[in-house]
Structure 1
Amino acid sequence: MVLKHRADGHLELRANGIFVMDTRETSTEKALATRALELHPEPRNVLIGGLGLGFTLEAALTDPRVEAVTVVEIEPRLVEWMRTGRIPHGPELLEDERIHIEVADVAVVLRESPAEAYDVVLLDVDNGPGYLVHDANGALYEAPALADARRATAPGGTVVVWSAAEAPALLEVMAQVFDGAEALSYPVDLQGHSETYWLYVGWLSSGGVSPRNGTN
């Protein structure tokens, strides 16, 4: 994991030589939280897989319905950089008492979490299943790990996976694991270049009420 201070004054985060994110364009990280939380009527307890530079977490905390956020980050240096101020906005952000940070593999945390612990689970540990930061992360997008995410999510909840590219195989697996699954696209302007990013949503039914229409 490398945190680079660029000549333009922005920070850039890379893992295994792969560009992860920077502080110049943060709309996609914020949109992950904002759009995902819009899908749930009462997202009190949220789990975020991947701390990044903190913008997804920051956006989640702006939602007044959110009472607790567990952030799971596998890279301890990234958490340290946030706490010590090497990432300048980090210390103030982490002062929020609603935050609990676990330095661990999110797949392990989901497997070991109590059943129905979270209302919303947001997974943003890669640039999507086709652009893995670590090869081992591929298992996170397969049925066993997604089933762990489902078990850790309360009835009526959602599991949302961010992807930089369309991932039909992921949608197919999520349709098998959850009561409903849906791919939501959203356009992004990256310094004048139009891109389309994706949220893959797994729905859990609640009290006999079917989730919103998805692929199954």
Structure 2
Amino acid sequence: MGGVEYVELARTETERGELVLRERAPDEPGPTILELRANGVFVMDTVEVGSERALATAALALVDQPRAVVVGGLGLGFTLSEVLADSRVERCSVVEIEQTLVGWLRDGTVPHGPALLADERVNIVVADVAAAVAEAGPASYDLVLLDVDNGPGYLVHEANAELYGTDFLRAVQRILRPGGVVAIWSANRSGALAEVLSSVFDAVEEQPLDVELQGRQTQYWLYVGRCP
């Protein structure tokens, strides 16, 4: 974005690298725009949030009673916000590996964060999502949403590759109740992911989702595994 001026709000170094939160003025009158970057790579901002919201709404529509939900990846909180907008949700565990990112939402560095995390249904778990799933009790959730990357082809960290493998998906299956669903977000169609899901779940769906970004329509994919 040539000519756009950013102000750095916060920066941290973790064992996974650098995490930066910065802001810029909007093109039209309105609140400032926040942008999150990891190791210099754009992760998300507060303008184009359609994909984060679409993940939640599409996944929630797949479950009759999504009383207990896991969201893998906090980001700037827009997937969580959409989950909490569903009155059927009684509790939502958000698994985020970066403690500092949780802190930025909790202390108001991300302005909408405090109210979001104050919802009594929210439980923040600072951990790797694979470890959190392994520690969860069997048949304890109705819906698991994974939005830690833009799918297996666009990993934020190389270690995340295991989240698209058989062992992790079997662990997810263990914590799902009958009729429960895992929904994985992907920026591109992935036959390999569909194949791995099919090796674990009897019912697998590949859903294209149309999302408007920067005034144009683009297509994302939702990969779904359903328990009987």
Structure 1: distance between partners of 2:203 and 2:221 = 17
What is the CA distance between 1:193 and its match in structure 2? 2.8
Q: Deviations over 1:189-215 (max 9, x none)?
A: 21123210011000100xxxxxxxxxx
- For 1:3, the equivalent position in structure 2 comes to 21
Kindly indicate whether the alpha-carbon contact (under 8 Å) linking 1:183 and 1:198 is maintained by their aligned counterparts in 2: yes
Question: Which of 101, 106, 110 lines up with 1:78 in the alignment?
Answer: 101
Moved over 6 A (4+): none
Taking the aligned partners of 1:13 and 1:164, their CA distance within structure 2 comes to: 18
Q: Shift of the alpha carbon at 1:179?
A: 1.5
CA offsets 1:164-198 (integer angstroms, 9 cap, x no match): 11111001100111121111001112112321001
Provide Cα deviations, 1:20-60, integer angstroms capped at 9, x if missing partner.
Answer: 11100111111111110110000000000000100000000
What's the secondary structure of 2:51's corresponding residue? helix
- Aligned position for 1:208: none
1:115 aligns with 2:138: yes
Contact 2:50 2:212 (C-alpha < 8 Å) held by counterparts: no
Q: Which of 38, 41, 46 in structure 1 is aligned with 2:69?
A: 46
Find the residue that maps to 1:81 and give its secondary structure. helix
In the alignment, the residues of structure 1 paired with residue 119 and residue 50 of structure 2 have an alpha-carbon distance, to the nearest angstrom, of 21
One-letter code of the match for 1:90?
G
- Are 1:29 and 2:52 counterparts? yes
Question: Which residue in the other structure is 2:14 paired with?
Answer: none
Unaligned runs of 5+ in 2: 1-18, 27-31
Stretch moving more, 60-69 or 181-190: 181-190
> In structure 1, how many angstroms separate the alpha carbons of the residues matched to 2:34 and 2:94?
21
Residue 136 of structure 1 aligns with an amino acid whose one-letter code is A
Alignment check: 8 A CA contact 1:16 1:134 kept: no
Q: How does 1:47-62 map to 2 (within 5 A)?
A: 47-62=70-85
Which residue number corresponds to residue 169 of structure 2? Answer: 146
1:201 counterpart residue number: 224
Q: CA deviation at 1:127?
A: 1.1
Whole-Å separation in 1 of the counterparts to 2:40 and 2:198: 33
Displacement of 1:63 in angstroms is: 0.5
Residue 125 of structure 1 aligns with which residue?
148
The structure where strand makes up a greater share of residues is: 2
Q: Which amino acid aligns with 2:174?
A: R
> What are the equivalent positions in structure 2 for 1:156-171 lying under 5 Å apart?
156-171=179-194
Q: TM-score, normalised by structure 2?
A: 0.88
Amino acid in the other structure paired with 1:59: E
Cα RMSD after superposing both structures: 0.9
Matches within 5 A, 1:89-104: 89-104=112-127
Kept after mapping to 2: 8 A contact 1:115/1:153 = yes
Write the distance in 2 (CA, Å) between the matches of 1:137 and 1:100.
Answer: 22
Gaps of 5+ in 1: 206-216
Q: Distance in 2 between matches of 1:164 and 1:46?
A: 22
Q: Counterparts of 2:69 and 2:184 in 1: how far apart (Å)? A: 14
Normalised to the residue count of structure 1, the TM-score between the two structures is: 0.93
